[in-house]
Structure 1
Amino acid sequence: MTSAALDARAHRRCHNALNSLHSTHYFSPDLGRELGALGVAHPRAVNFAVRAAALGPVGAGTVTATFYKYKHELVARHVPAVWASATPEQILVARARAVDATLRRLLGEETVASAEMTEAARLALRAVEACSRSARPLHSAHADLPVPEEPHLAFWHAATLLREHRGDGHLAVLMAAGLDGLEAMVTHTATGKGMTPKWVFTTRGWTQEDWDAAVGRLRERGLLDEAGELTEQGRALREEIERETDRLDRAPYEHLGADGVTRLTELATVFVRTALGAGAFPADLLGKR
């Protein structure tokens, strides 16, 4: 299937729904409970452990490089120390239990066991067949993990692979655009679609001083105005970043085909709306303030 046959934004919409479904477990009390039972209690240690576990017992440098938008000093406080509390293998098992509990709680047992969930898993796994491992460390590490048997976990697994596939490509685009991790977050927040500064400080380790310095650098480049809003040049750069990320991520969705992408988006969107209605995310997570 050619790229022209698939709407240029169709796979981005599909990714957004899949990414939201994947991300529910990061904010779930089930994850904290499961990791806490292994001796991993700090929220940041939990986050680093579950996402990096597929890479093995890596050091702080690898996590900072592959996660990109976290302050290295924050990462180094928890990695590699977290592996002394639990092995990556133990953490992956605990993560799966947390995802299972989270999806059952947010979506309900009927949805988890539905034909629609089985269909969504089949479509998402079909898309994954065309993902590339090259220069995609987080995707490739997760691709080495076995596909769960239960449809809702298989769907989440496939959503994770598609999410990390796009994410790895996105980081290459950010580097090519000359944006470091914090500058990328500042410009994304300025679009109104990224994390609020409060959540950037809380979860990524950056301070108000760091944020202000990044804003200053972006103003010097003409990407932000004095009010901290994107300039025309800044908006054009963000749009180009998304277009280039789309280009690097189009293969899985072209492989699935336009009809498959439409159906997968429909199914994932219904699941995400149900999860949102059940309070999956903090109300103040996204926005400019």
Structure 2
Amino acid sequence: MTSSLPERAGRRCHSLLNPFHSAHYFSPDLGRELAAVGVEDARAAYFAVRAAPMGGVGAGVVTATFFNFRYELVAKHVPAVWETASPPVVLAARARAVDATLRRLLGEELIASKEVAEAAELALRATEACARTARPLYAAHADLPVPERPHLALWHASTLLREHRGDGHLAALMDAGLDPVEALVSHTATGKGMSPKWVLGTRGWTRDDWDTASARLRKRGLLDAEGELTETGVAFRQQIEAATDRLDLAPYEHLGAAGVQRLTELMSGLVTVLLSAGAFPAGMTGKS
């Protein structure tokens, strides 16, 4: 599919929408709101808030749609978490947490600004071209109502665009023949993914899982002995991202080059404020 957009324009825009969505996962506001409805374990909270739009699903569905978590870790918390807090209760708690997080990190003046309202309008317009077919996490979120307040509408649209690209990215990973741990190892080797320490501490995999996956990637000529991507490996990861771009092209084509550029500018300013306010923990990304 050819595009009228500048090269990687959609990817650049997504790279800013994604952290705007993801900041709430690391927020104390989320922990407080989930604990208030009985969900005190941080991993259970993460699985619950992201899976809740799909309803009271089991560990198999969560593992399939989240992709890079070990099934046994998911099964410790799902579906048991729904006995503590039903999906509607979790979604209401998530909405309160997102509101509190954005107000705390961005400040009331920025929350009420015309820039946030404009970004919300542009991002929502982009979602008009998203497709539910074969995109379960996007489709589930797309069935939720759009919040009235602009900062929450922007978060909602960012979530839709994030999950739309994410569902497509999983298809690209599967087509490339990567299993969950291989995908994590090769992404970390680009320098843009989560650090091994963070992966092993949150996804349920062991160091042996990581080392074994690394060995498989070396056998394919994608990693060298030091765990760095080979020339072939660099090209391989680039091909995956290019395939993801193609699968995620529709919303950005719909928005148009000028709209994408403006949304990217607006989100860059908002994410800069989020990062400066400490929205994400130190040491989360990198190769070590």
Give the TM interval when normalised to the shorter protein: over 0.9
Matched, 1:143 2:142: yes
Q: What do residues 221-273 of structure 1 show as CA deviations (whole Å, max 9, x unaligned)?
A: 11100000001111111000000000000000000000000000011110000
What number of residue pairs does the alignment pair up? 288
Q: Which residue of 2 aligns with 1:168?
A: 167
2:101 counterpart residue number: 102
Aligned residue number for residue 47 of structure 2: 48
The residue that corresponds to 1:24 in the other structure is 23
- Counting aligned pairs with the same residue, the percent is 69
The residue type paired with residue 171 of structure 1 is L
Whole-Å separation in 1 of the counterparts to 2:227 and 2:3: 37
AA paired with 1:207? T
TM-score, length-normalised on structure 2?
0.99
**Corresponding residue for residue 85 of structure 1:** 84
Instruction: Specify the code of the residue in structure 2 equivalent to 1:110.
Output: E
* Structure 2: distance between partners of 1:176 and 1:258: 29
Q: For the residues of structure 2 that align with 1:142 and 1:254, how far apart are their CA atoms?
A: 21
The one-letter code of the counterpart of 1:235 is V
| Structure 2 residue ranges without an equivalent (≥5) | none
Per the normalisation by structure 1, the TM-score is 0.99
Shift of 1:19: 0.2
Determine helix, strand or coil for the equivalent of 1:284: coil
Corresponding residue number in structure 2 for 1:156:
155
Q: Is 1:3–1:254's contact at 8 Å kept on the other side of the alignment?
A: no
What amino acid maps onto 2:94 in structure 1? R
- The Cα offsets for residues 191-235 of structure 1, whole Å up to 9 and x where unpaired, read as 000000111011111111111111111111111000000011111
- The Cα of 1:3 is off from its aligned counterpart by 4.2
- What does 1:1-289 align with in structure 2 at a 5 Å threshold? 3-289=2-288
1:8 Cα deviation after fit: 2.0
Deviation string 1:148-171 (CA, Å, 9 cap, x unpaired) is 000000000000000000000000
Query: Where in structure 1 do 4 or more consecutive aligned residues deviate above 6 Å?
Result: none
Q: Secondary structure at the match of 1:44?
A: helix
Listed as ranges, the gaps of 5+ residues in structure 1 are none
Cα distance in 1 for partners of 2:126, 2:102 equals 21
Residues 26-75 of structure 1 show CA distances to partners (whole Å, capped at 9, x for unaligned) of 00000000000111111110100000000000000000000000010100
* Maintained 8 Å contact 1:182/1:211: yes
- Measure the CA separation in 2 of the matches of 1:67 and 1:131: 19
Work out whether residues 185 and 210 of structure 2, in 8 Å CA contact, stay in contact via their aligned partners in 1: yes
**Aligned-pair Cα RMSD in Å:** 0.8
CA distance in 1, matches of 2:180, 2:101: 29
